[in-house]
Amino acid sequence: MSKLRIVYIISLVILAVLLVRVSFWPMTGGEQKHSEVSRESLLETENGWILQFDIVNHEGEDRNYTINVSVDGKPSTRTVSIRDEGVFTYIRHISSDMLGGERGQVSITVYKEGEDTPFEQGTWYLKKPASGSQ
């Protein structure tokens, strides 16, 4: 057998192994370990707003998360522990009285324990409803 033929056969075998690996990689535990925020919503009510979102833990282990919410510069912090593949629903009622002027700003940041960079952040600008309007 010539050297060229051996190299050709080895190349085909390597190519076949790579194609099989790439095709079945997502099914063999190659998934990314991550957390995510889902179902974010800010609902307006008669008296203000309701901020709601879910934190989903896909980290492969139980994790702690810190949720920072600021309403017109007034911060609040909550730390929650979420088991692996668990979901935590955060709900915060924001009354129009909590806004300083006619417009207000609501900001959120969500951190994993031990990390300095948030994996989720968002800001909403709220306008107070006109008083006495019918």
pLDDT one-digit tens code per residue, 58-80:
888 999 999 999 998 899 999 99
- Quote the tokens at residue 133: 């309007």
pLDDT one-digit tens code per residue, 95-129:
888 887 777 899 999 999 989 999 899 999 988 76
Closest residue by Cα to residue 78 from 111, 53, 51: 111
For the domain made up of 34-127, give the CATH fold. Immunoglobulin-like (2.60.40)
